[in-house]
Amino acid sequence: MVKKLYPRPTPLGAPILVNNQASFAQMLSHLRTQTLLSLDTESNSLYRYYPKVCLIQLTAYVDPHQPDPAATVDYLLDPLALKNISALGPLLNDPATEVIMHAAENDIIILQRDFGFQFNQLFDTQLAARILGWKQVGLAALLQEYFNIASDKNMQRTDWGQRPLTQKQIAYAQIDTRFLPALRTILIEQLQKAGRWEEAKEAFAFLRQVTYREPTPRTFWQMKQREVPDAATNVLEALWLWREAEAQRRDWPPFKIMTDAQLTQLAVHQPTTLEVMAKVHGFGSKLAKQYGKQLIQVIQQGQQQPLPELPETILRPEQMLAKPVQHRYEALRHWRTDTAEKRGVQPDIVFNNSTLLAIAQMEPQSEEEILTIPEIGPWKARTYGPAILATLKKMR
């Protein structure tokens, strides 16, 4: 079925760059009169070891059903230029203000991390699309499909920490929030038609529970590519620790120092000269010249270290459970997979793994007990409760 192409909500005017206290105060004064805002962020995680939010986009839209160009304002808030933007926090957490985001969880986490912001009323356009079972849920794909708007994907990899912002960056950032209110209207219509509106509202409410937590210390066991002989894991760990220290010193992301694949190749071959190192697959003379002497020392030091033990922290949570709980968890996973396939959604839309683990551990006896699990609301308890209880009963 060909989806309806919707008209563009309003013409794109120039956004307001908020980079001083006067423009910040003016923006807040305007936003306090609104009941619907759309929000997005841009960070520099591809360019820094210690990333930060570099831009906050906000669009104020009085009525998404009857858009008025004069009443639609796009703001680009520059937190790098402003020392304190804490006054924005109460506005975002106001229960009378609904904030629209696309793939909200990551934005919520980094805004908590950098500014302590909390949110009350949320609408996540990507989550809504996933609940509907849409195959293409990226914002660029949705903007193209519904509004014939092309988003410059190259801007996803741009350095948002650089100033001044380019015109391409500004246009990309503005598009990310300008069309969210209109997309929200389309999604609400489709959710109501599919009988999924209550499910979506419940899912949005649980987004308020998303909380930033300090990350656990990084270890080399988390590398995506660490296929080395067991006897070489001490060298790989030493190389990984060197890369972490170098990345921290230069405030660069580790992959810009050296990739996981390159570290793995060094750990496998353990070169002892710059000439041999330059011939290691994926390495080359440039890196050998830049880091070679250091790396030879690091390899030698790693060879003298004991082999590291596999830590429990890299095991999947279910692997550390008692056998009966593991069996219940696996049975629930099979039920979830079947349910998701019948609905045409991804499994985590039914329940994510942590919720299944909580159910398996509790082994609830009733829908009322299912509802006591913090991640489960009334709609899911009512809709999936009977099947969950039947699955658990078979395991007794």
Residue 1: pLDDT band with limits 50, 70, 90: very low
pLDDT of 126 = 98
Mean pLDDT rounded to a whole number for the chain: 91
Residue 10: pLDDT band with limits 50, 70, 90: low
Cβ atoms of residues 223 and 240 within 8 Å = yes
Angle value at C-alpha 181, between 178 and 186, nearest 5 degrees: 125
Please check whether residues 259 and 181 belong to one and the same domain.
no
Q: Where a domain ends, among 144, 174, 209?
A: 209
pLDDT at 116 over 50: yes
pLDDT at 262 over 80: yes
pLDDT of 7 = 55
Q: Which amino acid is at 24?
A: F
8 within a domain of the structure (yes/no)? no
Please check whether residues 99 and 172 belong to one and the same domain.
yes
Q: What is the mean pLDDT of residues 64-69?
A: 51
Helical ranges in the chain per DSSP H: 21-31, 88-92, 104-115, 125-131, 139-147, 167-178, 180-194, 197-206, 233-250, 254-257, 260-269, 274-278, 285-303, 323-343, 347-350, 353-362, 367-370, 378-394
Q: Of 125, 159, 117, whose CA–CA distance to 145 is shortest? A: 125
Residue 2: pLDDT band with limits 50, 70, 90: very low
Q: Where a domain ends, among 181, 209, 237?
A: 209
Q: Residue 347 sits in a domain of what CATH number? A: 1.10.150.80
231 within a domain of the structure (yes/no)? yes
Q: Of 102, 138, 136, whose CA–CA distance to 122 is shortest? A: 102
7 within a domain of the structure (yes/no)? no
Distance CA 117, CA 197 (A): 27
Please check whether residues 186 and 79 belong to one and the same domain.
yes
Number of structural domains the chain divides into: 3
Q: What is the pLDDT of residues 97-114, one digit of tens each?
A: 999 999 999 999 999 999
Please check whether residues 93 and 183 belong to one and the same domain.
yes
Please check whether residues 136 and 262 belong to one and the same domain.
no
Residue 8: pLDDT band with limits 50, 70, 90: low
List C-alpha distances in Å: 32 to 29, 81, 93, 181, 292: 6, 22, 12, 17, 57
* DSSP per residue, 273-311: SHHHHHTSTTT-HHHHHHHHHHHHHHHHHHHTSPPPPPP
List C-alpha distances in Å: 38 to 72, 97, 117, 180, 193: 11, 10, 15, 6, 24
Tell me the pTM: 0.90
Please check whether residues 94 and 205 belong to one and the same domain.
yes
Residue with tokens 């990984």: 240
Angle value at C-alpha 169, between 166 and 170, nearest 5 degrees: 90
pLDDT of 153 = 82
22 within a domain of the structure (yes/no)? yes
Q: What is the mean pLDDT of residues 38-52?
A: 96
pLDDT of 100 = 97
Please check whether residues 225 and 199 belong to one and the same domain.
no
Q: Which domain holds residue 175?
A: 16-209
Please check whether residues 388 and 283 belong to one and the same domain.
no
Q: Residue 149 sits in a domain of what CATH number? A: 3.30.420.10
Residue 71: pLDDT band with limits 50, 70, 90: low
Please check whether residues 233 and 331 belong to one and the same domain.
no
Residue 370: pLDDT band with limits 50, 70, 90: very high
Q: What is the pLDDT of residues 210-244, one digit of tens each?
A: 999 988 888 888 887 668 998 999 999 999 999 99
Please check whether residues 196 and 110 belong to one and the same domain.
yes
374 within a domain of the structure (yes/no)? yes
11 within a domain of the structure (yes/no)? no
pLDDT at 128 over 80: yes
Please check whether residues 147 and 245 belong to one and the same domain.
no
Q: Where a domain ends, among 160, 187, 209?
A: 209
Q: What is the mean pLDDT of residues 74-89?
A: 97
Residue with tokens 């942590």: 354
Q: What is the mean pLDDT of residues 325-347?
A: 96
214 within a domain of the structure (yes/no)? no
Two tokens at 288? 């050998």
Residue 372: pLDDT band with limits 50, 70, 90: very high
Q: What is the pLDDT of residues 164-192, one digit of tens each?
A: 999 999 999 999 999 999 999 999 999 99
Please check whether residues 56 and 200 belong to one and the same domain.
yes
Q: What is the pLDDT of residues 275-314, one digit of tens each?
A: 999 999 888 899 999 999 999 999 999 999 999 987 765 6
Phi, psi dihedrals of residue 53, rounded to the nearest 5°: -70, 125
38 within a domain of the structure (yes/no)? yes
Cβ atoms of residues 272 and 296 within 8 Å = yes
